[in-house]
Amino acid sequence: MSPEFLTVAMFATLIVAICLGHPLAYTLAAVAALFGLLDNGFNIPALFDMFANNTWGLMNNYVLVAIPLFILMAQLLDRSKVADQLFEALYVVLGGLKGGLGLAVVVVCTVFAATTGIIGASVVAMGLLATPALLKKGYQKELTSGIICAAGTLGILIPPSIMMVVYGGLTGLKETSVGNLFAGSIFPGLLLAGLYFLYILVRCQIQPELGPPISKEEAGRWSAAQKWAMTLKSMIPPLALILAVMGTILAGVATPTEAAGMGAAGAAVLAIFNRKFTWTVIKESCFATLKTTSMVMMLFIGGKFFSTVFLSMGGGDVVADVLVGSGLNRWVALFIMMAIVFLMGMFIDWAAILLVTVPIFMPIAMELDFNPLWFSLLMCVNLQTSFLTPPFGYALFYFKGVAPEGYTMMHIYRGILPFVLLQLVGLMLIALFPAIVTWLPAIFFSS
């Protein structure tokens, strides 16, 4: 069979299998096994050798040790109620502004993103904590869900991000090492947070009924000095943890894996100070870490096997011929790759998209003479939209699971649409101004 036919048939089979609701990790591995056998003439031992070598190579990847450590850090922080204290302080400081409580959610989620690296904890925690407060003060349901879902997804982009660890482990390039990806993703993450902040501020000035301020009596219960003291007291612990993790990486003192260990230890210390470090918290955090890590690694194995079979049967060359050999302008080729990632994000988990597309798209991007780090961050910012885009955005279902009675999926879908557009605006700004990505890595790592 021709590589062109196998390429189209392989992706079509994958899409059909996903739509039928089969588990993604096993679907990727099964489709890879089927087409690997078709391509090699049903040589089972050769296919098994390929699978075993891929799995062994993954398990030997030292960078991936950071994944369970960052997940454990996030689980401990989630249960130590650090975000709760910060929201309570910012509720008082920003609540008097139109849209102020929404702004408080964005700030808390930005800080929490820099300490967790995963979105589930942020969306669920802020959904439980902030949704009742916002609705009680008269915030529109759609705006409330949009703020929490969008700001909660910052955890997958702002370092320490699990996505960056996975991406760095996939490419093996010096330019896209985890340290470079962490440094390069700081400004894009802050850019998106700034766009959300500005949108909420402007829209609530135009339509104050969507996000009314708290009453003057409630806002006046604390003096300016008390507000500053509350904010600093709640900000110092997470900022100290961010410094311990990101500061050591950017200073070159620790590798991302070593910094992840420091982060997990620091999260345990914060839990102790908050008197939340109980046996129940330890047990639940470890069990949740085990489940999440197992899911990520199974996706890794299935996705790596899929991409290896796809490349071995010539699928990568077929895609490269379409995007490069056909004479397309390189910016048109970039747009097509970004559009493919965006559309896949509506239906497939971000990890599977990375595992399938990075081995195919990265060589094409380098052949088109794009900066590998800049291209990688375009991919990652694009993938952040996968958490918000219907019908299968994970953040939407995380929020729905903790939303108060009366919330429908249509409320949530309508609420996230402006924020998806803001993410696309952010993606365009990063494409137009590469220094947003490349400046910090050049400062810290000369790359």
Q: Look at residue 237 and tell me whether its pLDDT is greater than 90.
A: no
pLDDT of amino acid 338: 92
pLDDT at 447 over 60: no
Residue pLDDT, tens place only, 372-399? 999 999 999 998 888 888 777 778 877 8
Rounded mean pLDDT of 204-223?
Answer: 80
Burial status of residue 346 (CB atoms within 10 A of its CB: 0-12, 13-18, 19 or more): middle
> For the chain, what is the total number of helices (H) and then of strands (E)?
22, 0
Length of the chain: 447
Q: Which has the closest alpha carbon to 292: 39, 78, 445, 82?
A: 78
Look at residues 150, 200, 204 and name the one whose alpha carbon lies nearest to residue 424.
150
Q: What's the pLDDT band for 437 if we cut at 50, 70, 90?
A: very high
What would the two tokens of residue 192 be? 């998106």
Percent of the chain with pLDDT over 90: 18
**What is the separation of C-alpha 190 from the centre of its chain, rounded to a whole number of angstroms?**
13
Q: What average pLDDT score do residues 428-437 get?
A: 95
The predicted structure's pLDDT at residue 424: 94
Instruction: Report pLDDT for 296.
Output: 78
Q: Report pLDDT for 388.
A: 86
**pTM score, whole prediction:** 0.84
What is the average pLDDT value for the chain, to the nearest integer?
A: 84
Q: pLDDT tens-digit profile of 120-156?
A: 667 877 787 788 888 888 889 899 999 999 998 888 8
Based on its alpha-carbon atoms, the radius of gyration of the chain, rounded to whole angstroms, reads 22
